[in-house]
Amino acid sequence: MVSPDELDRLRRRYRLERERRVRADGPRQYVGADAAFGSYAADPHAAAPAPREPLKDTVDVAVVGGGFGGILAGARLRAQGVGRVRIVERGGDFGGTWYWNRYPGIHCDIESHVYLPMLDETGYVPEWKYAPGEEIRRHAVRIAEKSDLYADALFSTAVTSLTWDEPSGTWLVTTDRGDEFRATYVITATGTLTDLKLPGIPGIEEFEGRTFHTSRWDYAYTKGSPKGGLSGLADQRVGVVGTGATGVQVIPMLAEDAGHLYVFQRTPSSVDVRANRPTTAGDVGADHHGWARERRDNFLRIVSGEPSGEDRVADGWTASAALLEKLLPSFRREGDPAAFEAAYEAADAARMNEIRARVERTVTDPATAEKLKPWYRYACKRPTFSDTYLQAFNRDNVTLVDTADTHGIERMTARGVVVGDTEYALDCLIFATGFSVGASGLHTGSLPVRGRDGLRLPQAWAERGMRTLHGFTSHGFPNLIQLGAPQSAASVNFTHVLDEHAVHAAALVAAAEAEGAVIEPSREAEDAWNALLAGAAPDHEWFHADCTPGYYNGEGRGRPNGPTAYPHGAFAFHELLRRWREDSLHEALRPRTAARP
Ligand code: NDP
């Protein structure tokens, strides 16, 4: 039990630690990989694309993005009998996040038996509780092959605009390879954390050593593979900036192989037990068709706050499920709100005390241990899990450089990194500094969309607020379906969410085809959905406003206002979609000839 006095002390400490880190420039402290930094985004996994003739043909469905969202959309469309599905992907192959991110130590931090989609359909049973990145990437390829998605796919190609043509009832899709093809339907599956970001610090271009971002790992320089063996770093002074979910996985691998490793930390992660281990089909109940769906549903129930009876996955996520309520706006909460918040805070403090005690038990140097303790509430930052990260700081070749008081590394020189009065000379600096948050290019404007009557995104939503039916479709944008977007419901197991969305998208397309209709919700249907979101959304702004800065809270500013998610949990949302498809799908359709007023 945590006493009221201790709770009070913790609140004060958390506030202090937040104040040390908040920066006036918030998200503007970062730069993207464009203009002068464009080379950071280059694809290290594919040869320069061979020239090809631009395409001017017509397909049934264009899918923007070939990560799990796009692949699942393709697979579920195939299951509905849809013929020509063209997935357009910036990378040189399918895989999305798992195509780009191949850094040493990369693993999924969600159990592989619930994270990898379509295990029932493919018959694949992962061999480890937490799968390495390469196994996940290969599974993405497996689904794409099984669903025959390669034939029409375009790789090393970015969609540059989408324009609706009402007379022909098609979208004109243009790309950066000169394509101008048409598609009756467009599904966007462009991810949420896709565009890498770098600290926008002075001198970053002056550094004469090697630099790269973790999502574009340079194995030509480091040698080795995601399994380690980075012999190219053996006598190198290596720096790594960032100790988030990526840093926690990559730092132990760098510590093994670098001559000396400097870890530049601004905010420590909460690092819980991982306990990865080989698994057998028997361990996970993979003895009948449907086992994976049942396990995945069980996990989702627990992390969405639904009553579940048993806990099949039994890991750090399910053990702390009740503490995810603030992270996931869509989490079922019940009972008296004041009692709920009090119990929540006490459980949160107990959990974080355990995590801090683990640091103290594991790290031998007390001063280093102190710096590695996270002082914020659980889920202020993405929880992480590792049995090798904290241990890495017991090695003689690893130095932890705390940068909280200077708000991060301050500048770079030709020789290395400056923090306070010290210049750290480096041969190589690796940025584990994460990704810009954006539901998709539709929301940021990087993918211009022109709907019916010249209506544009994101301008239309900037003026009137975001308006959708279930997060998928919008009035004025016929036959355009978004996957994984706001106004639906999120979960820590994002592939599950994407799969449910893919099933839904494919059902919309199939219904429109069967009825000779166009997918476009009425204004009334959008209004009803917005009203439902606004009416029941719990207020979590205060929680995020009290957290240390990070991408969960707009770098310390709290969440943007407005209804963004279905408020009763992802599990309930998927149930709602199923019922709606049976009873009310017509709400999203209109006849092909008549435009809705
Ligand atoms: P994050 O945004 O979580 O972390 C970025 C890190 O860079 C933070 O530690 C940040 O510090 C630090 N940083 C940024 N600028 C500076 C600076 N100027 N000086 C010092 N430090 C700086 O990115 P990640 O790539 O770690 O993770 C992003 C997301 O990707 C995860 O939250 C998760 O959703 C996903 N992911 C998932 C994995 C999985 O297994 N499923 C594995 C890896 C990533 P500060 O915290 O102070 O801002």
Instruction: Please report, for the chain, how many H helices and E strands are present, in that order.
Output: 19, 22
The confidence score (pLDDT) of residue 337 equals 79
- How far apart CA 372 and CA 393 sit, in angstroms, is 9
Residue 542's identity, in one-letter code, is: W
* pLDDT tens-digit series, residues 88-115: 999 999 999 999 999 999 999 999 999 9
* pLDDT tens-digit series, residues 443-474: 777 889 999 998 998 888 888 888 999 999 99
* Interval 430-440 mean pLDDT: 84
In this structure, what token pair is assigned to residue 203? 């001198």
- How far apart CA 508 and CA 510 sit, in angstroms, is 5
- Residues touching ligand 1 (Cβ under 6 Å) are 21, 107-110, 193, 199, 201, 241-247, 249, 264, 266-267, 382, 403, 408-409, 432-435, 549-551
The confidence score (pLDDT) of residue 561 equals 43
The confidence score (pLDDT) of residue 596 equals 47
Q: Which sequence spans correspond to the domains of the chain?
A: 4-32+197-274+337-431, 58-195+437-521+566-591, 291-325
Is the bond into 278 cis (omega within 30 degrees of 0)? no
Pocket test for ligand 1, best of 21, 253, 265, 266 (most atoms within 8 A of CB): 266
Q: pLDDT tier at 537 (50, 70, 90 boundaries)? A: low
pLDDT reading at 15 higher than 60: yes
Model pTM greater than 0.75? Answer: yes
Pocket test for ligand 1, best of 136, 246, 303, 372 (most atoms within 8 A of CB): 246
CATH 3.30.1310.10 assigned to domain 4-32+197-274+337-431? The reply is no
| Overall fold of domain 58-195+437-521+566-591 | FAD/NAD(P)-binding domain (3.50.50)
Pocket test for ligand 1, best of 195, 196, 276, 382 (most atoms within 8 A of CB): 382
Same fold, 4-32+197-274+337-431 and 58-195+437-521+566-591: yes
* Contact by Cβ (8 Å): 132, 226: yes
Q: Which helix or strand (DSSP H or E) is residue 400 part of? A: strand 398-402
- How far apart CA 260 and CA 279 sit, in angstroms, is 35
* Sign, Cα dihedral of 557, 563, 569, 570: negative
Q: pLDDT tier at 427 (50, 70, 90 boundaries)? A: very high
Adjacent-strand bridge partners of 261: 238, 398
Strand order across the beta sheet in which 411-412 lies: 411-412, 416-419, 422-425
User: Mapping DSSP to helix (H, G, I), strand (E, B) and coil, where does residue 462 land?
Assistant: helix
Counting from 1 in the atom list of ligand 1, the atom nearest the Cα of 109 is 40
pLDDT reading at 475 higher than 70: yes
* pLDDT tens-digit series, residues 171-198: 999 999 999 999 999 999 998 888 899 9
